[in-house]
Structures are given as C-alpha cells and as structure tokens.
Amino acid sequence: MSVRTRLMIVTILGLAITMSVWGWVQVRALDKIITEQQIKKLSNVAETIITYYQNFHTRQGLSVLDKTLKEQIQSDVQLARIDIYSVINDDSDYVAGANRVQYNWPETLVESVAEELKPRHNKLDIEGGPAIGLLASDIMPGKNKKNRVVVGVIAYSQSSTEILNRAKHLLVYSSAGLLFFILLILYLSYGWIIRRPLRRIVGAIDEFQAGQYNRRINLKRTDEWKLLANHFNSMADKIEKVLAQYQELNLSLEKKIQDATHNVVQLQKEVNQLQQLTALGYLTANLAHELGTPLHSIAGMARLLLERGEWPPDAGRKLELIVLQTQRLDAVIQNVRRATRLPEPHFETLSINELLNETLPLIEPLILKPDIRFSVNVNDNIPYLYVDRYRFQIAILNLIENAVEAISKNGEISISVSVLPDGSFITISVKDTGSGIPAELIEKVREPFFSTHNDERMRGLGLAIVNGIATKVHGGRLEIKSSPGTGTEIILYFPVVGSV
C-alpha cells in the first residue's frame, strides 16, 4: 500500500470522524436550543394560566374556566393539552382542562412539583407525535400556604423534529461534499508535496548505495523534505569519513593481526619448550634416581673392599678405577640434572580471563578432530590467581591433549571455572566424554611414566607434570573423577589470592 493511499485513508477516516462528531455536537446544540424555546413558550402559557386561575372567581363556574382553556388550545395548534390541579396538604385534585389527546399526569409528579414549586419538563410520545410536557406550580392567594395550583401544559414538537432531520441531512451532504473537495486537493497536491522530493531523495540514496559516496541532495525548499535532505547529506559526510578511517583501521588491524599471530607462535614455542623441558626434567630425575642408587652402592662396596688392604696391586688399581668411574658417572648425572632443571617459577597476579585468553589460542591446534565440540564456562566474580602463567598453560594444554586422545569420535570437551563456596580455592575443571579411567588406575595415572597406551612413544608424563604444577609449584591439588564409558573430569585447585 502506497503512502498516498494510506494518506487518503487516514484523511478520510479523520475527516469522517471529525465531521461526525462536529455534526453530532451541532445537532445536539440545535436540539437543545429548540427545546429551550419550546419550554420557554410552555412556561409562559403555564404562568398565564396560573395567574388567570389565581384571580378566577369561583362563582363564575368551572364551565367558564373550561371554555377559556379550550379557546387557548384552539388559538395555538401546537398545544395538545392543558390541565389544572389543586394541591392542598399534599392531596391533588383535578380542577379543569382542555385537550386534543388523552394523557394523565402522574399524581406523584404533580404533588412533587407542588411541593418544590419548581417547574419540570420531559419529552413525551403521545398520540399525534412527539411532544414536550411541562408542569409548573404556585401558591394560591390566602392564608393557607399549603393550597397550591399546578398547571400541566403539553405541546407538539413535530416541527422541531422536522428541523432537526433537515439539519442532519444538510450536515451529511455538506460533510460529504467538503470531504470530496479536500480529498481532491490532497490528490492533486500529492505529486508536488511528496512524490517529486521523495523521488529525488530515493534516487540519491540508490546512487550512494551503488558507491557514489560524493552524492548529495540539494532541495530548494524550507519544509521537512529539506530537513531530511540535510540529514542525509550530513550522514553521507560522516560515512565518507568513516570509510576513510575504516581503510586506515583495516591496515592497522592487518598489522596487529600479524603481530598477534607472531606473538602466539612465539608463545606456543615457549610453552612447547617449557613443556619439553618439564618432561625431560621428570625423565632425568627418574633416571638419576634409578641410576644413582646402584652407582652409590657400587662405589660404596668398592671403597669397603679397598679399605681391607689385602688385594694384589692389580686388583687394588681396578677397585680404585671402579670408584673413580662411579664418581664420574655421578657427576655426569648431576650435570644432566642441572642442565634440564626448570627455571624458577615467575609468579604473577592474573585474572582467569587473561589466562584463558592467552591459553585458548594454543588449544586450537590440539583439537584436530572435527567432531569434537569445545566449550568454556567461567562464573562471574572469579578472584585473581597468583600463578606462573607458562606452567598454568602447560597444565591446561596437557589436560586438553589427554582429553582429545580419550575421545574416539563425537565427543565434547568443556572447561569450567568456579570458586569453592568457602572462597579458598578456584577450581578449573577439564571434562571430556571419552572412554574414562578404571577406578583401580585413577591413583596410578598421577605417577610418572604410567600410561594406558601401548605404543612406543614417550607417555605417562602428562598428568604427572600437571600434578606437580598444581601441588608443588602452586600449593593446590589435583582431583580426578572418572569411570569407564562416561568420561573423565580433571579438577585443578588453585589458592585464591584476592577478590575482583
């Protein structure tokens, strides 16, 4: 539906409602004026009859009074009925009257008018057509104030009804003509007021959308269309500036993305190196323990044998050689341990969001299976952590890698962060829907070099490294919840430093 059609419909409805209300008000006002004039006329007739009756000598007889009332009715064709009542001590009696139609005034109404001495009128529907009735009263001359006269006058109102009907028809015809004339003016002026400026504005907008960003609208008007054109021109100027800034921002963002990618790659290398160094440290420590114990035993036994002093020279030199070689091997082992020793932890007060923002980009290369869904849920108001960010990342990456290996297909991995109810620890949960761990192996998986996999790659250090990071480095703990077929949940507990 076009704007012109809507405008015509709204105009028709608005004018129709306005004219209907206005016509109704005019008819009501005209009806009120005519009614007031008729009531005034009836009041004059009633006052005349009351005055006549108050001065009427009863010795003349009621026939004279009836004759006078009939003459009054015959002299005015609008009068339909005149009645005179005498009310003494709240008792009403009919005195005289003249009529063209039959009508009985309610006795209670007559007595009420006599009591209040106030005229009352109402519209009646009698034989011969609509009419207006009026009751008026006054006190009769004399000492008895309870002696009152009530006069009822009824007059036809057919002429007023005809006047109102003609007025209604005139209002309808004049309103229809005025409505048609207004609609004709609107229809003819639509093209000049709306269509032409609208076409220019729409055309300019289309050209602007097509890439002509220097397009502007110039309207020689002073109305709302000019205001709209000015707003469009202002918007176009701002868009041109924004586009120029956008191009500059694109170049800047490309450089920032390159820098960020380089930083992520460097961070990945550092984390991988630290992870390899951690694994090598565990391996070296285990080898030092496994080799150092028998070497110390061999060296000790060789010294004991040398202390006896009963050996041939050749045997003594060989025992001394054994002691020297064990010392050399022990020195080699200690040198290897020192070379593979991890750097001292560098603790920082960091938010969990900052840690995850640095860690999550490193997780993406680990989740190579397309059917694995990954989600992160961090509760509100998580306190800050006092952690070594690189060891924290190593722990999370190891848990994610284990979770990926545990899922064969169509699995889900989720990271959840929350705070214990007592506020002492922040919990970081890594949960998967993989194969799970049997109950008898849950404690063993924490040990170095223990693995449920049978391939020849170096395995069994992941959870051991994570456990060491959580417990020894950060003073927290590691909890494992798992059962075969339902998946595994590893929960890391880190002590709380302070509130956000």
Judge whether 198 and 219 are in contact, CB under 8 Å. Answer: no
pLDDT at 314: 76
pLDDT at 456: 45
Judge whether 371 and 336 are in contact, CB under 8 Å. Answer: no
| Burial of 247 from C-beta contacts in 10 A (0-12 / 13-18 / 19+) | exposed
What does pTM read for this prediction? 0.41
Judge whether 494 and 474 are in contact, CB under 8 Å. Answer: yes
- Give CA–CA dist 400/388, Å, rounded: 19
pLDDT at 492: 94
Residue type, 133: G
pLDDT at 458: 44
| Nearby residues of 399 by Cβ (< 8 Å), 6 or more positions away | 430, 462, 466, 490, 492
- Give CA–CA dist 156/126, Å, rounded: 9
CA-CA distances (angstroms) from residue 340 to 193, 298, 388, 393? 86, 26, 19, 20
| Nearby residues of 367 by Cβ (< 8 Å), 6 or more positions away | 374, 400, 404, 413
- Give CA–CA dist 280/289, Å, rounded: 14
Quote the tokens at residue 118.
């106030």
pLDDT at 500: 39
**DSSP string for 43-80:** HHHHHHHHHHHHT--GGG-HHHHHHHHHHHHHH-TTEE
Q: Please count the CA atoms within 13 angstroms of the CA of 133 that sit on its side-chain side.
A: 23
- What residue ranges in 327-466 does DSSP mark as E strands? 347-350, 372-378, 384-388, 411-419, 425-432
Cα Rg of the chain (Å, integer): 56
DSSP lists the bridge partners of residue 79 as: 155
Judge whether 223 and 201 are in contact, CB under 8 Å. Answer: no
- Give CA–CA dist 89/53, Å, rounded: 19
Mean pLDDT by 10 residues, the chain (500 residues): 70 79 79 83 87 74 80 83 86 85 87 86 83 86 75 79 72 78 75 72 79 75 75 81 84 78 62 58 61 69 72 74 75 65 79 88 74 89 89 87 84 92 91 87 73 51 79 90 88 76
- Give CA–CA dist 444/447, Å, rounded: 5
Q: Which residue has the tokens 């900052």?
A: 354
| Burial of 470 from C-beta contacts in 10 A (0-12 / 13-18 / 19+) | buried
| SS3 at position 53 | helix
Number of helices (H) and strands (E) in the chain: give both, helices first.
10, 12
pLDDT at 161: 67
| SS3 at position 488 | strand
- Give CA–CA dist 218/196, Å, rounded: 13
Q: Which domains does the chain have, with CATH numbers?
A: 3-165 (3.30.450.20), 224-343 (no CATH), 347-498 (3.30.565.10)
